[in-house]
Amino acid sequence: MNKESVGIVETEYLSISDPIRLDSGETLEEITVAYETYGELNKEKSNAILICHALTGDAHAAGWHEGDKKPGWWEMVIGPGKALDSEKYFIICSNVLGGCKGTTGPSSINPKTGKEYGLDFPVITINDMVKVQKELVASFGINQLFAVIGGSMGGMQVLEWMVSYPSMMKKAIPIATAARSSPQQIAFNAVGRQSIFSDPEWNNGNYYETGEIPRNGLSLARMIAHITYLSDESMDIKFGRGLQDKDEISYDFTLDFQVESYLKHQGETFVKRFDANSYLFITKAVDLFDLSINDSLIDGFKGIESKIKIISVDSDWLYPTEQSMDIVTALNANNVEVSFSEIKSNYGHDAFLLERGQLNYIFSNFLSENVVGDLMMEKVATIKENSNVVEAAKLMLDKHVTHIPVVTDSCQLIGIVTSWDLSKSIATKSNHLKDIMTKDVHYCNADDPIEEISRKMRKFDISCLPVVNEDMKVVGIITTDQISNLIS
């Protein structure tokens, strides 16, 4: 364990007492949520980041469980000094509804029968998963998350958060994902489910009491899915046409090639850690995912408020870059602040779990917190309301500024005068400042995030904002030029 790890962690559990109404119309009661947290929540409760896991992931995103041989699945980006810095942020990750790693799912006990749900568990959606996550976030007293981040199915959850709870996060990072499942993606999941259905041990989902799990069906489903997580290039680099533990082709149906052995191992390992019924319900939720309205993503993405970073992988053929660009286009059409990055990797879809350097770099740049107080000019020229136009003009020339806050004797903001206002004074033959100044003035505070102030300036087409404290006293000024310099 190194100093960049969050160290030994434990999974915790939240019991949700209120029933959750699902998209299907059914209701789930007595839901348990398994989750882990890293770092500390600040007193303003403004530094929380929610991590959403992929299809077969869990709440253990970082750190080590006692006795484990490897850390959490996103250890490479979570921890002290990393992009998701546990010394700066309070990071939350939970197992999704329908899972089998502590959160209520088909292998959980149905309170109405005292037995495992099995196929009595209701069909769920990505939105249902997010509803449960929202309850977890609320249990910490958090009104707004600093960010929501996730890849693959986790990216779908991020997109759902953006649409369903637009004011509950400042930033969002969906990675290697889509806003609606394509026919090909649905097809791969359907074949995986059929492989489970066809296993005699599945027993129509009632295998918990028999002790005989649908091992072959679940293993085959994993093998099929795992192929989609890799790229042709990565498989060629890793395996080529290399033989497995033999010097020549055997000319029978034993495993000849290394790639065959690898997939068989992946299937056998998966069976030891995942529940077949959970696989059915979760893949179905992915298939049902579609954020378009009337077949339009533009309509589906109306009302989004957070700042978005979309990330794709150039070698990902399961969720290709084209689907990420569809999201970017729809967000741009809704005037949402969005940026895009494409990871260069031969790993394929799995790159979001493997490309440590690129992800840390992209995350760090996007999540960097810059507030007005970091950029504003503190020594700001001000002028009193009873001054005249000539005094204002001389002050502008002397200080080389085009905006001057108008203040009371106690420096409280009451207006602003600009070089445009001075031009107006000539046309109207006005000599008194109070006759030409803007009284309904926009302003900001020193702790306001830069991105919010930038949006405000664009919205009202203004290039300068006075910065005031809680008493409305002017403490500085910020301009679009300063923000542009920060961005560049």
Task: Supply the residues annotated as catalytic.
Answer: 152, 316, 349
Which two three-digit tokens encode residue 393? 């003009």
Q: Which residue has the tokens 């978005």?
A: 308
Q: How far apart are CA 220 and CA 215, in angstroms?
A: 9
Q: How far is CA 311 from CA 56, 61, 150, 223, in A?
A: 20, 19, 10, 26
The backbone torsions φ and ψ at residue 12, rounded to the nearest 5 degrees and listed phi first, read: -110, 170
Cα dist from 153 to 47, 96, 398, 406, whole Å: 24, 10, 58, 53
Q: CA–CA separation, 177 vs 141, rounded Å?
A: 30
How far apart, in whole angstroms, are the C-alpha atoms of residue 153 and residue 97? 13
| Long-range contacts formed by 190-197: CB under 8 A, 24+ apart | 190/287, 191/221, 191/224, 192/220, 192/221, 192/222, 192/224, 192/225, 192/279, 192/283, 193/221, 193/279, 193/280, 193/283, 193/284, 195/220, 195/221, 195/224, 196/221, 196/276, 196/279, 196/280
Q: What is the DSSP string of 97-159?
A: TT-SSSSS-TTSBPTTTSSB-GGGSPP--HHHHHHHHHHHHHHTT-SSEEEEEEETHHHHHHH
DSSP state of 336: -
Beta bridge partner(s), residue 403: 418
Query: Which residue, among 42, 25, 345, 373, has the nearest Cα to 175 in the 3D structure?
Result: 345
Angle in degrees, CA 107, 112, 114, rounded to 5: 55
What's phi and psi for 315, nearest 5 deg?
-100, 10
